[in-house]
Structure 1
Amino acid sequence: MANLRTISEAEIQEMGSILHSRVVTEVVAQIQDMLGRLKSTALEIAVTGEPGSGKSSFVNAFRGLGDEDPEAAPTGVTETTLEAKAYAHPGTPTVRLWDLPGIGTPSFEPQRYLETVGLHRYDFFIIVASERFRECHVVLAKCIERAGKRFYFVRNKVDNDLEATARRRSGDASAVLQQIRSDCEAGLRRCGIDPPPLFLISCFHPQNFDFLLLQETLARELEGHKRHVLLLALPNFTSAALEKKKQALRGSLWRTAVAACLGAVTPGGAAGSIVPLLMDTLRSYQQNFGVDGDSLRRLAGLTGKSYEELRREVRSTSGQELSSQSVERMLSQVAAGQQALARMLESRIPVLGAVASGGVSFVASYYLLQTAIKDLSEDAERVMHKALNGSDLERRGYQEDIPEPQEFF
């Protein structure tokens, strides 16, 4: 093996030039392509059901909006959806819910209906009902299954059933819910579906009943980038949902930091270009955790809390209004302790170690973003408890496996 000390200074400079002009450029291009595909991945969710079942309210609740929000799908006692219309999630716009025309009319023909609304554009279907399981649901479910698409059956407005029972004093809540569940399960089993993909919900109380379970199920059954974007779109109603968002963002953290750092040293790049990229990433993190101004205003309108009291729960530096100066200050704070980490990195991944030794380092970028994810998730937790009056609504969570850097490279 050649002794590095015998290589001339000119040879070392030539190697460095080749490294920067070829290897780093290729690495940056590949990572930017990965991040681009992650950000542009679309998730198309079809919401269908009978007129008056609450399809539009479901679309709004899934997006974390009240029916009175300016961005909400229109709702009413009569059928308001005459053609398929897409509604983007306000914080994750690549997640779109399609409010489809109602089913169950005398002229309803499932196959023609599915062709008309564009069956194959959707990743899965949500069938919304507000009363008994009907024959039109059976026929539609069978057609969706035959087309190779997943569907989930949602029995909406269970809060109305419970209120009616309370007024009549004709039974307890658990018995009413079990009766509703049994009726719907029997209908789904007639389709040959067992176990039935059934969820009892109230669009006006999405933190109760099975709404959160539905979203957990969707995330579990999706794969790859589509799963990632759905996790980021989940409403912040539980600590478990926040944990999943945190883990999802950590899963792409290495790629984001590498793209920012190496992008500044490629031909045509500039060291200062790392700050705008980091600023854009931090702003997207604020949206993902729902602590930016627009998200807090929507949450205030949904919960009846004031914007100001929710805003006071956002205490981290990463959660405040961002500027080039504030990002540079955060970078300088984490850069002070980076030297030992840079040496460790250089021994494991020489290309990155070389970059980390000068200018704005990969290590500083990585730890800035890692700290921001942690701090913003804590801000979001405080906002959630303030918005929900501190109720402990946490459901069971799970841990994502986050790849080690050597596994990625």
Structure 2
Amino acid sequence: MEASFASVKTDLMNNNTAAAVERIQRYLEEPNDIPLNIAITGESKSGKSTFLNALRGIKSKDEGAAPTSMTQTPMEVTPYPHPNYPNVTLWDLPGIGTTKFPADEYLELAGFERFDFFIIISDTRFRENDVKLAQEIQKMKKKFYFVRSKIDNNIRDEERKKDFSKEETLRKIRDDSVQGLRDLGFESPQVFLVSSFKPHIYEFSELHETLERELPAHKRDALLRAMPSFSLKIINKITVFQSRIKYWATLSAAVAAVPVPGLSAATFNLSMMVSVVTDYVTGFGLDKQSLEKLAASSGVSYDDLCADIKSELAKEKITKEFFMIMFISLASKAALMAAEKVSRWIPIIVTAASMGISFTTTYLTLSDFLSQLADDAQRVFKRALVLETSV
């Protein structure tokens, strides 16, 4: 990233603004071009489709959702593009060991080369075919993860017992799952306990963090942007968004200082702000669809979740007037800070003064927007967790 920005500085030093603009635009668009393919497999009725929809941040009744009918069992490898990030695709794989997908030919028939990692799901216990698949994936030097689904059903069933303990129930499910895999010959398995209907509790967030940690860097950004925020641990998402702000600010400054064919500074700044802020709102799960899904899964009303949102950015449709007010309010502060920001990010060239003010205003504005929405996301998820932890 820094090497890329160094090239931008060089272009600006040489007064080659058009080249700098092109380089920045290419860098900012790159995450949308990097494919991320996630394979999800398991036996029929194991909760694959519901899990797949949860990862895409949609409900089963939404358009494009994977069908969750108990009578519909996929017999083909079926792709489901992410609704907001089409470069991210989740693939519903038929259960291993079916007539069309025998265990010894499963990976080849499924087209294993295209997948970045596999998620193997079971709602009861993992079976011999699951272990065979995991071992074959290991041989191919690809990642896989065991997921024990429908944990909410187990908790609900156990709650009827007099001596019920949520912690003890979860421990027993984990121990049984791990021991079952060991008995089938799989050493040191890691199993994630999840509920696709309540992704903000149990171990969806631990699974998410493990995927982030183990994916290559260029794939990690695609995952971070596309996956819903399942927990209060959103620092990685903030880091990804923050790292791009200097590019947006430099692009804004370059367009403002030296006209580039086809780009108006005013038009660019408006469309850029709308695009970036929309990405923040969706990325933090503060859009209406995400909040409705969180309300349904947590039991906290949609209105109560919205009450914790302070920023107007996530409340109303952003208008030109809104951005004008924000820019005016930050302009004087930006002018005072321009020298410091320019010395850090953009080289001193003929247009340094005008570029500095434009750069700093954009930089401060987007940083402020990001901070507001990150704080809102923290408050919303804390509210959603209160009811769960008090039950």
Question: TM-score scaled to structure 2, two decimals?
Answer: 0.84
| Matching residue within 20, 32, 43 for 2:36 | 43
Query: Is contact 2:13–2:347 with CA below 8 Å preserved after alignment?
Result: no
Relative to structure 1, the CA distance from residue 180 to residue 389 in structure 2 (aligned partners, 3 Å threshold; closer, same or farther) is closer
Give the Cα–Cα distance (whole angstroms) in 2 for the partners of residues 41 and 124 of structure 1: 15
Is 1:322 the equivalent of 2:315?
Answer: no
Per-residue Cα deviation, 1:227-260 (whole angstroms, up to 9, x for no partner): 12222334334221x3322122112221222223
Gapped regions of structure 2 (runs ≥ 5)? 1-10
Q: Report the alpha carbon displacement of residue 158 of structure 1 after superposing the two structures with TM.
A: 3.2
Contact 1:66 1:301 in 2 (8 A): no
Instruction: Tell whether 2:265 aligns with 1:271.
Output: yes
Query: Is the counterpart of residue 236 in structure 1 residue 232 in structure 2?
Result: no
Partner of 2:329: 333
Is contact 2:56–2:228 with CA below 8 Å preserved after alignment?
Answer: yes
Equivalent residue runs for 1:57-76 within 5 Å:
57-76=50-69
Q: Tell me the distance in 2 between the aligned counterparts of 1:390 and 1:173.
A: 15
User: Structure 2 vs 1, CA of residues 291 and 352 (structure 1 numbering), >3 Å: closer, same or farther?
Assistant: farther
Q: How many residues align?
A: 375
Question: What are the residue-to-residue correspondences of 1:108-187 with 2, within 5 Å?
Answer: 108-167=101-160, 174-187=167-180
Inter-CA distance 314–348: structure 2 relative to 1 (3 Å threshold) = closer
Local SS of the residue matching 2:252: helix
**Cα distance change on mapping 1:33 and 1:392 into 2, 3 Å:** farther
Where 2:312 maps in the other structure, the secondary structure is coil
Runs of 4+ in 1 over 6 A off after TM superposition: 168-171
User: Residues of 2 paired with 1:47 and 1:97: CA distance?
Assistant: 7
SS at 1:358's partner residue? helix
Residue 301 of structure 1 and its aligned partner are, at CA, apart by 4.5
Structure 2 CA distance for aligned equivalents of residues 331 and 100 of structure 1: 49
Quick one: distance in 2 between partners of 1:182 and 1:89? Answer: 33
Cα distance per residue 1:22-79 (max 9 Å; x no partner): 5322222222111111232222111001111111111122233343444432113334
The one-letter code matched in structure 1 to 2:237 is K
Partner of 1:15: none
Q: Which residue of 2 aligns with 1:255?
A: 247
Q: Among the aligned pairs, what percent are the same residue?
A: 36
Counterpart in the other structure of 2:5: none
Cα distance in 2 for residues equivalent to 1:296 and 1:180: 30
Deviation (angstroms), 1:310: 3.5
**Runs (5+) with no aligned partner, structure 1:** 1-17, 394-409
Alignment of 1:8-407 (within 5 A): 22-105=15-98, 108-167=101-160, 174-189=167-182, 194-240=187-233, 242-264=234-256, 265-268=258-261, 269-272=263-266, 273-303=268-298, 305-319=300-314, 320-349=316-345, 351=347, 355=351, 357-358=353-354, 361-389=358-386
1:302 deviates by 4.3
- Write the distance in 2 (CA, Å) between the matches of 1:215 and 1:252: 22
Over 3 Å counting, the alpha-carbon distance change for 1:338 and 1:352 in structure 2 is farther
Partner SS state of residue 351, structure 1: coil
Query: In the superposition, relative to structure 1, how do residues 275 and 109 fare at CA in structure 2: closer, same or farther (>3 Å)?
Result: same
- Tell me how far 1:189 sits from its aligned partner: 4.4
Mapped contact 1:346–1:353 kept (Cα < 8 A): no
Structure possessing the higher radius of gyration over alpha carbons = 1
